[in-house]
């Protein structure tokens, strides 16, 4: 995660509106920064799936969460085209500085949509990509800006809910969606 995403983690947690009992998928969980926060927020009645394509990150997440006594976390080995979760198994899918890494956007979004329960939400936090404004490494590294990202997600069967302003975010945005009814 970027420094500002780390520094704003408690504001981000509040903005997700995660509650006790929720089932959350932290997609692209990395070292598990948000996985741990989510596991504490959902409590013993909830569950967090830390989805990663890196076995090394998954081993780290598993070890650190066991050491922390958090037994409501499952480490899930995802694929470039799937988060690997059953249909309607989560209330929230969270991608933080992950969307720009997606290689198979359409099948991945279809997998996310399938995994979301009715009324579930998708949260995407990623880098602003604005030619002439964003830093060069962002322009070189991030394939799609917020407008294109939103369009891709809406085309995959999601309805835009809102953009949430996080005061500490200078280079990132926070947008939320819900799954549209139907197949």
Which of 152, 174, 172 lies closest to 3 in space, CA to CA? 172
User: How many whole angstroms separate alpha carbon 122 and alpha carbon 143?
Assistant: 20
Cα 122 to Cα 26, 43, 93, distances in angstroms: 10, 20, 5
Cβ(177)–Cβ(154) under 8 Å? yes
What's residue 117's pLDDT? 97
pLDDT in tens, 133-151: 655 655 565 567 788 889 9
Compare 140 and 59 and report the one with higher pLDDT.
59
Least trusted range by pLDDT, from 60-69, 79-88, 143-152, 172-181: 143-152
pTM equals 0.91
Q: Where are the alpha helices (DSSP H) in the chain?
A: 3-7, 9-16, 33-42, 55-67, 105-115, 136-141, 146-155
User: How many whole angstroms separate alpha carbon 137 and alpha carbon 69?
Assistant: 38
Listed ranges 15-29, 125-139, 142-156; the one with the highest mean pLDDT: 15-29
Domains in the chain, CATH or no CATH each: 3-121+140-165 (3.40.50.150)
With pLDDT > 90 as the criterion, what percentage of the chain qualifies?
Answer: 72
């Amino acid at each position: 995660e970027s420094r500002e995403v780390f520094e704003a983690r408690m504001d981000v947690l509040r903005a997700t509106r995660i509650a006790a009992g929720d089932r959350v998928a932290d997609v692209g969980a990395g070292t598990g920064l948000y996985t741990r926060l989510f596991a504490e927020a959902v409590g013993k009645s909830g569950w967090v799936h830390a989805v990663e394509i890196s076995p090394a990150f998954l081993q780290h997440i598993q070890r650190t969460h066991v050491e922390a006594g958090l037994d409501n976390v499952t480490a899930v080995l995802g694929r470039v085209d799937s988060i690997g979760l059953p249909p309607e198994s989560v209330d929230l899918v969270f991608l933080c500085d992950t969307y720009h890494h997606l290689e198979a956007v359409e099948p991945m979004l279809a997998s996310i949509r399938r995994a979301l329960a009715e009324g579930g939400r998708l949260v995407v936090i990623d880098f602003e990509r604005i030619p002439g404004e964003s830093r060069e490494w962002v322009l070189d590294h991030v394939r799609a800006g917020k407008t294109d990202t939103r369009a891709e997600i809406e085309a995959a069967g999601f309805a835009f809910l809102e953009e949430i302003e996080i005061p500490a975010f200078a280079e990132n945005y926070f947008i939320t969606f819900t799954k549209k009814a139907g197949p």
